[in-house]
Structure 1
Amino acid sequence: MKKTLIFLAFIISFSSCKKEAPKPVIVKKEAPKPEIRFGYKIDDYKVIQDTIKSGESFGIILDRHHVMYPKINEIATVAKDTFDVRRVRAGKPYTILASKDSTEKAQVFIYKHDKINATILDFKDSTITAKHYKKPIKIVEKVANGIINANFTFSMDSLGLRPNLTYQVADIYAWTLDFLRLQKGDKFKIVYEEKFIDDTTFAGYGKVKSAVFNHNGKDLYAFRFLADSILNIHEYYDENAKMLRSQFLKAPIKFQYRISSRYNLRRRIAYYGNRVKPHRGTDFAAKIGTPIIATANGTVVESTRRGGNGKFVKIKHNNTYSTQYLHMRNQAVKKGQYVKQGDVIGYVGMTGNTGGPHVCYRFWKYGKQVDPLKEKLPAAKPMKKEIKPTFFKFIQPLKYQLDYDRVPVEEPAEVNEIIAKN
């Protein structure tokens, strides 16, 4: 009995010295986050992505995805103030969110205008909704430095910059810089914005914040600034607060043209027996199809075809000035239409009496044709004196960045506040 008790005591003592086995750790896996696109939980739908084909309509697309025509007509009626379904264009991508059951019936139609903007038509319930959608974008500031070797377009291309930015810069300097007269060795610097979707997908250019061209040893600055908060229109000014834009552009073509014939009242033409035949316009030669732009705001008073003028557009700007653009391949505006400076009004052609592709630009002052290249044309409205101190504070860091390739180490809080508004 005594031996038995001693043995039991030993077993109990030995057992108490053994470590207890650790309890198994259960790792809970987190459920994957649902994918949200265009505000919808994508897993809840069958996602169909396609591109509108030539000849397809909104009705044909929805009918193919099991939506009946009475419902299609109802959707079109409800959406008409937001989106005209008759204007869906071939080549545009779209997404359909369909039910995941056996019917696979369309419930949401998403029409993509571009990489950022879309229109969403939701008809999954009895209530139909139509709304605009804009993808969140990230804006990154970039700086481009270039040297003119051949021309401005070539220099921008060599930097890997797209034509949209080239045109934007050309618009800014259209009144102060003749791009045809840029010389080899001229330099430029542009501070601009690039837009990105999901941090990586390029979605176009934003605003050009500032720029400088060094031409003939002179710096030509441009700073974007909101001087009139009532009109809420940003303009570009030089370092002295002088607006770059004039009331009239220098030419009806942005660049890549040459003046082939000037205003000349004593011009003699061999074709007409070498007799004097006045030329009351300025000919800008360019490739067929080159866009022709309005040189100032105004109302189209003629858009027609007549005799030797061929197809042309005439614009009345005010009671003093009118302009006319001859020999177009075709017009892009109609009579009575209001156009803004820089709007495309037609395309270079050879209609009427012409020996080559060009636009004959004619300029009227008080009803009389004059030479626009010799006229002292009115300037745009100057900046108000009380605004100038704010402007000069605003451009301090921007000009420093252009001059020294870096932003100032410290910027006053007041300056940061002004920059935020612009």
Structure 2
Amino acid sequence: MKKLSFLLILILAFTACEDNTKETALNAEKAEKKAPKPVKKEFGFILDDYEVVNGVIESGDSFGYLLDQHGVDRGKIYQISEKVKDTFNPARITAGRKYMILKSKDSARTPQYFIYQNDRINYTVVGIGDSISAARKKKPVTIKKREVSGVVSSSLSEAVAEQGLSNLLVYELSDIYQWSIDFFKLQKGDQFKMIYSEKYIDDTIFAGIENVEAAVFKHEDRPFYAFAYKTDSVTGQPSFYDEEAKSLQSFFLKAPLNYSRISSRYTKRRFHPVQKRWKAHLGTDYAAAHGTPIVSTADGTVIASSYTSGNGNYVKVRHNDKYTTQYLHMSKRNVRNGQRVKQGDVIGFVGSTGLATGPHVCYRFWVHGRQVDPYRQKLPTAKHIEPEHKDKYLAAIEDLKTSLDGIPYKEI
């Protein structure tokens, strides 16, 4: 009797467990059916509502050709182009840009929208269905502030890469300090710190640098501070000033091109590689790839754009009554005599014309008609912050400087 009772209890327990398992499975299945499918949304559209065509504009593609491939007749293409040209110029689509066409899901599969990605953030939606329209829009962007530091062991690019940072910071630093630091003379152990903001699409996809708020570059054991501060109420663009409210901008750029090394510096005595004799070399040679753009280091007027057997293709610029610069051995000149140039304008391209053994630009510098080493000159700077505004500037950068000083320097 006891055995029979025990057997009955086991049967009941097994049945109850089986029922519970079935019930759990049924509940899970119901929950799965009730759970909504994730909605795929992009450019403000629910993509599941359309047939989606993704593509990349290839060389030779036109707006009309792309729409024609998807069944839009030429009369309609002309009508669309005329109506939207003030917002979206169909003639200016660029090879390499991505686009998307959204079609209706009915049997006609009629194209409803053409979406052109101007860049990673900006895009244009062109209504190409019954209602023709165009609107410029932006993807949702998140701004994230970062504080970083690095140390130069071989090059600035490697120093940035070693910290897992974007190479865009190299350009930011060289732009900020192009008047203050000779980036062709960086030394092992030079250090930098930065406070800046990055842009992210949908909070995850890196989309570039938003702005640099502050930086310090320690070169030859001297810290060069830089703080962004708006003084131009017209453009609203900030300029960079140091911790004493002095402008980082100068009358002259430190170098006539953006490159990584100098092949030889100013000297009164150098063995000429072509003429095979010792002679003064009254310029600075910047080795660079053939065709690298050469820029004017300051505003001025071109007083010579010519060729000689020694100089090759060369350009000479008078900046004022005191300063003149010259750029030799160009592969091609990009300016003419009498032309006004601005600081940073491309005046020619690196070559090896004249007495040159390889592609480079020889940069020469005159003060009152005497050729000198530009790196030993005390050159004029841009306008500093006016004395009456200095206290306001110093108050504005106080917290930034404290934060910047609080970031530890990286060591080799």
Taking structure 1 as the reference length, the TM-score comes to 0.75
Matched, 1:285 2:290: no
* CA displacement, residues 100-159 of structure 1 (integer Å, 9 cap, x when unaligned): 223323232222122111233222235x33332221210101111112222322211111
Greater CA deviation, 175-184 or 234-243?
175-184
CA distance in 2, matches of 1:196, 1:388: 35
CA distance in 1, matches of 2:186, 2:272: 32
What is the identity, as a one-letter code, of the residue corresponding to 2:392? T
Task: Tell me how many residue pairs correspond in the alignment.
Answer: 379
How has the CA–CA distance of structure 1 residues 81 and 334 changed in structure 2, closer, same or farther, with 3 Å as cutoff? farther
Identity in percent: 46
Matched, 1:116 2:121: yes
Aligned pair partner of 2:96 in 78, 82, 91: 91
**1:41 to partner: Cα distance:** 4.1
Q: Which residue number corresponds to residue 61 of structure 1?
A: 66
Greater CA deviation, 36-45 or 369-378?
369-378
How has the CA–CA distance of structure 1 residues 58 and 254 changed in structure 2, closer, same or farther, with 3 Å as cutoff? same
* CA displacement, residues 188-231 of structure 1 (integer Å, 9 cap, x when unaligned): 21111111111111111121111112333332211111123234
What is the identity, as a one-letter code, of the residue corresponding to 1:198? D
- SS of the residue 2:147 aligns to: strand
* CA displacement, residues 362-405 of structure 1 (integer Å, 9 cap, x when unaligned): 45678887654454432101112222111111111111111123
How has the CA–CA distance of structure 1 residues 61 and 191 changed in structure 2, closer, same or farther, with 3 Å as cutoff? same
How has the CA–CA distance of structure 1 residues 320 and 113 changed in structure 2, closer, same or farther, with 3 Å as cutoff? farther
What is the identity, as a one-letter code, of the residue corresponding to 2:122? N
Matched, 1:164 2:168: yes
Q: Which residue number corresponds to residue 106 of structure 1?
A: 111
In structure 1, list runs of 5 or more residues that go unmatched.
1-25, 407-422
Aligned pair partner of 2:53 in 32, 48, 58: 48
CA distance in 2, matches of 1:107, 1:67: 10
CA distance in 1, matches of 2:91, 2:307: 31
What is the identity, as a one-letter code, of the residue corresponding to 2:288? A
How has the CA–CA distance of structure 1 residues 369 and 199 changed in structure 2, closer, same or farther, with 3 Å as cutoff? same
How has the CA–CA distance of structure 1 residues 88 and 190 changed in structure 2, closer, same or farther, with 3 Å as cutoff? same
CA distance in 2, matches of 1:113, 1:315: 38
Matched, 1:232 2:252: no
How has the CA–CA distance of structure 1 residues 303 and 191 changed in structure 2, closer, same or farther, with 3 Å as cutoff? farther
Matched, 1:217 2:207: no
Aligned pair partner of 2:405 in 403, 406, 410: 403
Aligned pair partner of 1:296 in 280, 295, 298: 298
- SS of the residue 1:228 aligns to: coil
Q: Is the 8 A contact 2:139 2:202 kept in 1?
A: no
Q: Is the 8 A contact 1:169 1:208 kept in 2?
A: no
How has the CA–CA distance of structure 1 residues 43 and 52 changed in structure 2, closer, same or farther, with 3 Å as cutoff? same
**1:35 to partner: Cα distance:** 4.9
- SS of the residue 1:258 aligns to: coil
How has the CA–CA distance of structure 1 residues 285 and 33 changed in structure 2, closer, same or farther, with 3 Å as cutoff? closer
**1:43 to partner: Cα distance:** 3.8
Q: Is the 8 A contact 2:185 2:261 kept in 1?
A: no
- Which structure ranks higher in relative contact order (CA pairs < 8 Å, sequence separation ≥ 6)? 2
Q: Which residue number corresponds to residue 18 of structure 2?
A: none
How has the CA–CA distance of structure 1 residues 164 and 334 changed in structure 2, closer, same or farther, with 3 Å as cutoff? farther
- SS of the residue 2:264 aligns to: strand
CA distance in 2, matches of 1:228, 1:199: 32
How has the CA–CA distance of structure 1 residues 368 and 147 changed in structure 2, closer, same or farther, with 3 Å as cutoff? closer
CA distance in 2, matches of 1:317, 1:216: 30
Q: Which residue number corresponds to residue 257 of structure 1?
A: 261
CA distance in 1, matches of 2:338, 2:113: 40
CA distance in 2, matches of 1:221, 1:214: 9
Q: Is the 8 A contact 2:326 2:363 kept in 1?
A: yes
Greater CA deviation, 338-347 or 219-228?
338-347
* CA displacement, residues 224-281 of structure 1 (integer Å, 9 cap, x when unaligned): 11123234221111110111111211111234120526386x98858569597x8665
C-alpha RMSD of the superposition = 3.8
In structure 2, list runs of 5 or more residues that go unmatched.
1-30
Q: Which residue number corresponds to residue 361 of structure 1?
A: 363
Q: Which residue number corresponds to residue 78 of structure 1?
A: 83
Q: Which residue number corresponds to residue 249 of structure 2?
A: 245
What is the identity, as a one-letter code, of the residue corresponding to 1:284? Y
CA distance in 1, matches of 2:172, 2:119: 19
Q: Which residue number corresponds to residue 409 of structure 1?
A: none
- SS of the residue 1:138 aligns to: strand
